[in-house]
Amino acid sequence: LADLTRPDQMADRGALAERLVRAVRQRERIVVFGDYDCDGITSAAILTDTLRTLGGEVVPHLASRFEGGYGVSLPAVQRILASKPSVLVTCDCGSSDHASLRVVADAGVDVLVIDHHLVPDAPLPAKAFINPHRPECGFAYKGLASCGLALSIGAALRAELDPKLDLRRYLDLVAIGTIADVAPLNGDNRPLVRAGLEALRRAERPGVRALLEYAKIDLSAPISGEDVAFRLAPRINAPGRLGAPDPAFDLLLAKNLDTARSLAARVEQITDQRKELQREMERASVELIEEAGWDKDPAIVVGETSWNHGIVGIVAGRLTDRYNVPVVVVGFEGEIGRGSVRGPDGARLYDALSRASGALERFGGHQAAAGVTLQREMLDRFREDFLAACADGVASPRGEIKPDPAQVVRLDPADDPAQVVRDLERLEPCGEANPAPKLRVEAKLVSAREVSGGHLKLELQLPNGRRIGAFGVEQGAQAGQLGERVVAVGRLKRDTYRGGDAVELRVDQVWG
């Protein structure tokens, strides 16, 4: 952490911190407003707790998908102003919210923005605007998520208000928010997330400990980026997908384990509801796509009234994995639809949406993931424009889904799988811009069966006689189709269920 990029060149960092310091000293009310996703929730939690610890009067608010949608919407402005703040500081949103932030500023509130999304040309009505992507921002590392930026502001506040404040207490939240937001795990993010994963394993935060219990993550083994991405982050995101994100926010800031476990139980219940709705939406989407023949198009756009727009992003990602093209999934409420956009590696979704923006009321996000708002009557025109943009090469072309050879390593028959796992763990944190290596395993098939949920459970015997388990998500249909010898590609992990030196292959593909 001592080698992190010096923050001196981050545009407006000093001005933003100075205004918050003044607000704390003068007991002015501060509204911290976070977006409804994991990065927004963790960055708002970091800043809220930091300001409160330093003596600030803080009222936290979070965006709602169902009351205004992403960012500082006009309904959100009403909630913000009802709290009668002197200062508003946004977390993980605000870069594109010119109109609503103007309303806040015109009401006499000083607006401060902390964000990392792409920056429009028009100037914001803000006293200070921190975003590494601002053209005039000289901060060298552009990959920080908003939770990392919130930590940087915390460091500036500590310097002025309490040099004894230990900001390492927030590294667990930085790891969760950074990984969940698919920020690159290079540069400054790498040491931040590595330290954060170690903090997660210590589980000193009551909310994190309760979350780890429900996710059944074994603390005797190192916590990986994959654990965060697929077991922790979806739980934190779940409340905001089906309603208000507040239970997840409250969980992260819970002061004792009893309160945390009660909140975690509620979050787990919501997570189960989300999974069921997701399965039904994905099934209906595939049926619609293949009946219409859209599965051969350079991109896919689907939308229905019955679809919960809190889940459309997950389904868009699943459909992208299935068809290997950019996918837009829209949930309509009345005549207004809100959708999520996902694409294969290398897709330039923001550029494609810019080309198709004439049919949209609003869009925003990154090249790898974005969101849209549109009128129902514009869906067909948007589909036409978006497909044309993708066909012109603005987004990734369709292609056969194959593992990147640079990321696939053949497991040597002489290797001890348990030692291989220990070696791989040294490469953590793995994720965006630092993918975990995949292993090609050639083995004798001992057993194959479909288990609950449609998953595939295998037992494999390696050439050296060792046996390992293998697990393929939703690949259970292959159980009766595999021969005596198989080839599997996936990631080798500790088998925490069996314990000891047992390992398991998380299968991406298997054939034979």
Residue-wise pLDDT for 316-356, tens only, equals 999 998 898 999 999 999 999 999 999 987 889 999 999 99
Q: Is 275 part of any domain?
A: no
Q: Is 417 part of any domain?
A: yes
| Whole-number pLDDT of residue 399 | 47
Structural contact between residues 352 and 395, judged by C-beta atoms closer than 8 angstroms: yes
3-state secondary structure of 308: coil
Same domain, 361 and 430: no
Q: Is 350 part of any domain?
A: yes
Average pLDDT, the chain: 93
| Whole-number pLDDT of residue 402 | 47
What gap in Å lies between CA 294 and CA 287, rounded to an integer? Answer: 10
- The H or E element spanning position 391 is helix 379-391
Q: Parallel, antiparallel, or unpaired for β 438-451 and 467-472?
A: unpaired
Same domain, 360 and 414: no
Same domain, 95 and 212: yes
Which of 236, 258, 280 corresponds to the end of one domain?
258
Same domain, 357 and 423: no
Per-residue pLDDT of 475-489, as tens digits, reads 998 999 999 999 999
Same domain, 167 and 53: yes
> Could you tell me which of 371, 364, 378 has the C-alpha nearest to residue 340?
371
Q: Is 479 part of any domain?
A: yes
Q: Is 18 exposed, middle or buried (0-12, 13-18, 19+ CB in 10 A)?
A: middle
Domain count of the fold of the chain: 3
The two three-digit tokens of residue 490, written as one number: 């996936």
Q: What is the rounded average pLDDT of the residues 409-413?
A: 85
**First-last CA distance in the chain:** 46
| Whole-number pLDDT of residue 70 | 84
Same domain, 61 and 192: yes
Structural contact between residues 266 and 254, judged by C-beta atoms closer than 8 angstroms: no
Q: Is 402 exposed, middle or buried (0-12, 13-18, 19+ CB in 10 A)?
A: exposed
Range of the domain at 88: 7-258
CATH code of residue 254: 3.90.1640.30
Q: Is 280 part of any domain?
A: no
Q: Is 206 part of any domain?
A: yes
Per-residue pLDDT of 350-378, as tens digits, reads 999 999 999 999 898 778 889 999 999 99
Same domain, 438 and 335: no
- Calculate what percentage of the chain has a pLDDT beyond 90: 81
| Amino acid letter, 199 | A
Q: How sure is the predictor about 405, in pLDDT bands with cuts at 50, 70 and 90?
A: low
Same domain, 107 and 245: yes
Same domain, 242 and 369: no
Which of 258, 279, 302 corresponds to the end of one domain?
258
